[in-house]
Structure 1
Amino acid sequence: MIRVALAAALALTPVAAGAQAPAPARAPAPASAVAVEPARLAAATRLLDTLFPPASRTQMMDGMMTPMMANLRQGFTQNPQFAEMAKDLKVKAAFDRFMDAQLHRSMDLVRTSLPGMFDAMAHAYARRFDVAQMTDIERFFHTPTGQAYMQASMTIFSDPDVAAFQREMMVDAMTRTQADTAAFVKEVAAIQQDKK
């Protein structure tokens, strides 16, 4: 049961969910997507280069993901059923290997997906903001306050309140998943029994 809960809980995180299968460098745009004006796309690209300087994008993403994955790991260990199982040192070692592998896979996926992700984001910004608006936003991020915001926003997932909330959410998600999985297994067993 805990294996199902682990898999389901990992699927709750955007990073881990993406780690399950490789993502294309750039997914094709839906047919209904509005074409982007070149001037808006150029402004969006400049804005993203300000928000996420290309030379430090990988480090910025690592800085967000590492504490998020640490919070995920701690959330698992706070689950009473898992905590009981983890008293077995072999189980704990297997869990540590599993979590380390998930972290590395997620980090690798994010790193290889950065160009496609930022291309998609540039198109999204260009559809939502005009050139003047993006110029205003970019101007703000060149101010001391904008610079301070950019630096601080990269550390949000390591904040104690955010970390505590993520851990509580993970424990709750695992508890719900276990209950839902048990109910589902019972329902399927009843259906199979009725066929006999």
Structure 2
Amino acid sequence: MNRALVILSMGMAAIGAPLAAQTPPAPPAAEAPDPDRVEEARELLDLVLPPERRETMMMQMIEPSMANVEQGLMESPQFMDAMREDPAMQQMFVELLQRQRVATRELMAASLPGLIDAMSRAYARRFTVRQLRDMQDFFESDTGQAYLAEAPAIMADPDVGAWQRNLTVQSMAMMESEIEALMAHVEHRAPGPATNRPVTSSNLDAMRGGGEPDAAGVDEQPAEQE
């Protein structure tokens, strides 16, 4: 795997982050919430995320984040250097982004029912029936409706976008530094015959364009002399 492919893999991990951020990790096992609270929470979510507009609203929040991260990635010196090293990789990256957007939309659409179920239980564990009804009253007010109309577009705001792009550039620089430090550490380990180098060193050479490791992931040993 050459350096351009390593940078590309890092970039794809960064681009996938906005989707992952929408769905937090599962909390530790907890008791089932009160059914009345769950029902009230579901009514609140139906108001905040109307079923007929749910998928569109979620994508309005996710797609700007993905676009901001993509642009920040393209502007990072590390990524631009990698693309210059392997111009064909740039076209591959563009095509990959197109596939990723389609896959993200399909994944979100398929996962939404489960997300709403999970959020209903999460709300029910944290808010009383009275509090949930107060929230419904707010979101039914003029101010609440204005919030619901504009909230999905917040991630597309120029200031938020600039922050995300800058964060991506800084993140890529940090990851590049970590990779370089790791390479330097592996290369300066105790010297020995090339055939006895650790597996990590052999694979590292392949990543940096110095050859391919064998099928077993280790350097081929010389034939035993008769």
Q: TM-score range by the shorter chain?
A: 0.7 to 0.9
Q: Secondary structure at the match of 1:99?
A: helix
TM-score (norm. length: structure 2): 0.74
* Number of residues of Structure 1 aligned to a counterpart in Structure 2: 188
Shift of 1:174: 0.5
1:130-188, Cα deviation, whole Å (9 max, x unpaired): 10000001110000100100111100111000111100000000010111122123334
Q: Equivalents in 2 of 1:145, 1:193: separation in Å?
A: 69
The 1:29–1:160 alpha-carbon spacing in structure 2 relative to 1, beyond 3 Å, is: closer
Gaps of 5+ in 1: none
Residue matched to 1:123: 121
Change (3 A) 1:78 1:47: same
1:34 CA drift (Å): 2.2
The Cα offsets for residues 6-40 of structure 1, whole Å up to 9 and x where unpaired, read as 3334434534558xxxx9xxx98744x02211100
2:148 matched residue in structure 1: 150
Kept in 2: contact 1:64–1:155 (CA 8 A)? yes
Corresponding residue of 1:68: 65
User: Displacement of 1:2 after TM fit?
Assistant: 4.1
Structure 2 equivalent of residue 50 of structure 1: 47
Q: Residue in 1 aligned with 2:6?
A: 4
Q: Distance in 1 between matches of 2:158 and 2:188?
A: 45
CA distance 1:191–1:64, shift in 2 (3 Å) = same
TM-score, normalising length: structure 1: 0.84
Change (3 A) 1:73 1:50: same
Structure 2: how far apart are the matches of 1:152 and 1:75? 24
Would you tell me which structure has more helix in proportion to its own residues? 1
CA RMSD of aligned residues (A): 2.6
Deviation of 1:189 (Å)? 4.0
Partner residue, 2:17: 14
Who wins on radius of gyration, i.e. which is larger? Answer: 2
Identity, % of aligned pairs?
36
Which runs of at least 4 in structure 1 moved beyond 6 Å after TM superposition? none
Q: What secondary structure does 1:61 align onto?
A: helix
The change in CA–CA distance for 1:192 and 1:46 in structure 2 (over 3 A counts) is: farther
Whole-Å separation in 2 of the counterparts to 1:192 and 1:43: 64
Unaligned runs of 5+ in 2: 198-226
Provide the rounded CA distance (Å) in 1 between the counterparts of 2:156 and 2:26. 34
CA–CA distance in 1 between the matches of 2:147 and 2:103?
A: 29
